[in-house]
Amino acid sequence: MASNGSNNRIFMADPYEMLNPSVINPAFTPIIVTHAITFLVGIVGNILVIATWSLRGRLRSPTAVFLVSLAAADLLLLLVFVPLETLEYFVISWDTGGNICKMSSYVEMLSGMATVLNLVAVSIERFLVIVYPIKARSWCTMSSTRKGLVFVWSLAILLATPVLLTKSIYSMTYYNNSTQLTAYYCWDSDDDLAFAVAVYQLLVIKHKGREKYE
């Protein structure tokens, strides 16, 4: 394989080899097996969490509400991001406009933000109950919990938005003397904005994660 050095074009004896996932990534089989196990275990585990807390009227405490919300954030990642991420190993010429690329990256970030914020909310609620047990009865009501839940997800949606600014499609054309194949890859923009957003993601998640343990 040799690159001609212009217009993102690479000469290959057989361009259609790039449609073979095992050629694109030598670790294809372990990756797919890991994705499949993670998907199945995650789906079953989080559904059990939601069912356990939701059935028989157990969803009456702030902790239970935020734990169910946490499981929903995990399910969002499993049901949207993981299938799209896996599909990229099989199909490389479909997302020409980059919409799926952006959505997949956004859902990944949204799930991460929602997970951290839900854990922070649980930690705050437990802190109030332990340190201020009397006042917590009026503070940690179901009404305030619902408002807190709306705040958590609204903030997660807002904090995840910057990732949309940096994701784009990178095209590569593989060709020989008789045919060519153009592939589209989900890519981070190589500019100062992408670097700034990466630093932002690190700081926000690290800061929120630190709040959880304080």
How are beta strands 167-175 and 9-11 bridged, if at all?
Answer: parallel
Could you give the CA distance from residue 149 to residue 65 in angstroms, rounded to a whole number?
8
Q: Which residues of 81-113 are buried (b: 16+ CB within 10 A; e: fewer)?
A: bbebbeebeeebeebeeeebbbbbbbbbbbbbb
pLDDT tens track of the chain, all 214 residues?
A: 333 334 588 888 888 887 788 777 788 888 889 989 999 999 999 999 888 888 766 677 888 899 999 999 999 999 999 888 888 777 776 677 778 888 888 999 999 999 999 999 999 998 998 998 888 888 888 889 999 999 999 999 999 999 888 888 888 888 898 888 888 888 877 778 888 888 887 877 654 444 443 4
Which of the 8 DSSP states describes residue 198?
A: H
| Of the candidates 41, 169, 150, the residue with the CA atom closest to the CA atom of residue 104 | 169
User: Radius of gyration over alpha carbons of the chain, in Å?
Assistant: 22
* Domain residue ranges of the chain, discontinuous segments joined by +: 16-213
DSSP assignments along 128-152, one per residue: HHHHSHHHHHHHS-HHHHHHHHHHH
Q: Which pLDDT belongs to residue 6?
A: 42
Residue written as tokens 């929120």? 208
Residue 99's DSSP bridge partners are none
Q: Say what the alpha-carbon torsion angle 100, 103, 104, 107 is, to the nearest 10 degrees.
A: -160
Q: Domain 16-213 has what CATH class? A: mainly alpha
8 A C-beta contact, residue 178 and residue 171:
no
The pair of three-digit structure tokens given for residue 92, joined into one six-digit string: 């490389």
Could you give the CA distance from residue 196 to residue 42 in angstroms, rounded to a whole number?
32
Q: Strand order in 180-188's β-sheet?
A: 2-3, 9-11, 167-175, 180-188
Could you give the CA distance from residue 174 to residue 2 in angstroms, rounded to a whole number?
10
Q: Which pLDDT belongs to residue 43?
A: 95
pTM of the model: 0.81
